[in-house]
Amino acid sequence: MMSDGSLLRSGGETWGPVSPDNAHETGVSLHRGRQGGAVRANAKKDLVKLAIRGFCALQALGIAATVATIGGESDQSRLAEPWEIAPEMIRERMLERLEAIDPGLVTKLNGAWDRMTSPGPDGLSQCATSIIELIDWLLRGIAPDDQVLEWHRDSARADRDLHEGRPTRQLRIRFALRDRQPDGRLTNAYVATLTSIAEELQGIKHSGVGSDMAPIARLLPSVEASVGFVLL
C-alpha cells in the first residue's frame, strides 16, 4: 500500500486509494469504523486470503503493506503488519507453483496435513505415503528423465547420480536448480535435507503403524520449506 492508501498492482502501477468504487477490482472488502474513520479491510473470515487478494502479484518475494485487520470488527482491531502476512503469502505462491505443475501435488500436500490432524489407525503410514508421492511426483514433473539424462551427460556428471540408469532424487533437484548453482552450498544442503526426509518417510511408510503423528509433524514443515526453495 502506498502512502496515499493506494494498493500496488503488477508493474508498479496502483489501483488508487482503496474505496467502495474499486473494492471489486482490488478484492478488498471494506467497512468504516464507528466514527467514520479510515477504511479498513474486514478480516473476520480469513485475513490472510483477503490480504493476498489485494495484490496482483508478489514480485521477487517483495512484501508490500497489507490492509488486513487482526481482531475482527471489535475496537481492538488493527492493521496487520507486512511481516505477519508475509509467510502465508510466500506459502500461497509455492502452492500456486505446485498447482501449475500438477494439481495433484496440492492434493497430496493437503491430504498429508489433513491426515496429520485426524490420523486414524493407519494415519502415520498414509501420511508418509502422501508426502513421498508429493516429493517424487514433483521431481519427475520439473525434472523429466530424458532432460535430466541429457544434462547429466553434457555436464559430465558422476555415474553415482544415476540408479539403474535413471536419475536419482539428488540429480533431479540439481537439474531443477541448474540455473541457480546446482552444486552450491545451499543446494547441497537442501538436496541432503529433501533426500534424507524422503528416506526417513520410506521407513515410516513401511513400518509405521498407529496414530502417533509426531514423526510426521517434525518433517512436514521441512518438506514445505525444501519445496519452496526449489520452486521459488
Q: What is the pLDDT of residues 89-147, one digit of tens each?
A: 999 999 999 999 999 999 999 999 999 888 888 888 899 999 999 999 999 999 999 99
Contacts of 8 (CB under 8 A, 6+ apart): 1, 2, 14, 15, 55, 56, 64
For residues 94 and 90, give the distance between their C-alpha atoms in angstroms, rounded to a whole number.
6
16: left (phi over 0), alpha (psi -120 to 50) or beta: left
The answer on 127 and 213 residing in a single domain is: yes
The tally of domains found in the chain comes to 2
For residues 39 and 193, give the distance between their C-alpha atoms in angstroms, rounded to a whole number.
45
Whether residue 139 contacts residue 225, with contact meaning beta carbons closer than 8 Å, is answered with no
Instruction: Name the band, by pLDDT with cuts 50, 70 and 90, for residue 210.
Output: low
The answer on 216 and 149 residing in a single domain is: yes
The answer on 170 and 76 residing in a single domain is: no
Residue 50: pLDDT above 60?
Answer: no
Cell of 186: 545451499
For residues 232 and 60, give the distance between their C-alpha atoms in angstroms, rounded to a whole number.
9
> What is the distance between the terminal CA atoms of the chain, rounded to a whole angstrom?
23
Highest-scoring range by mean pLDDT, 17-21, 83-87, 113-117, 168-172: 168-172
171: left (phi over 0), alpha (psi -120 to 50) or beta: alpha
Q: Tell me which of 34, 54, 85 is where a domain ends.
A: 85
Task: Give the chain's mean pLDDT.
Answer: 76
Flag whether 94 is in a domain: no
Q: Tell me which of 58, 85, 112 is where a domain ends.
A: 85
The answer on 76 and 42 residing in a single domain is: yes
Q: Tell me which of 85, 111, 135 is where a domain ends.
A: 85
- Is this model's pTM higher than 0.85 or not? no
What domain range includes position 134? 102-231
Residue 59: pLDDT above 80?
Answer: no
Residue 107, SS3 per DSSP = helix
Instruction: Name the band, by pLDDT with cuts 50, 70 and 90, for residue 77.
Output: low
The number of beta carbons lying within 10 Å of the beta carbon of residue 152 is: 18
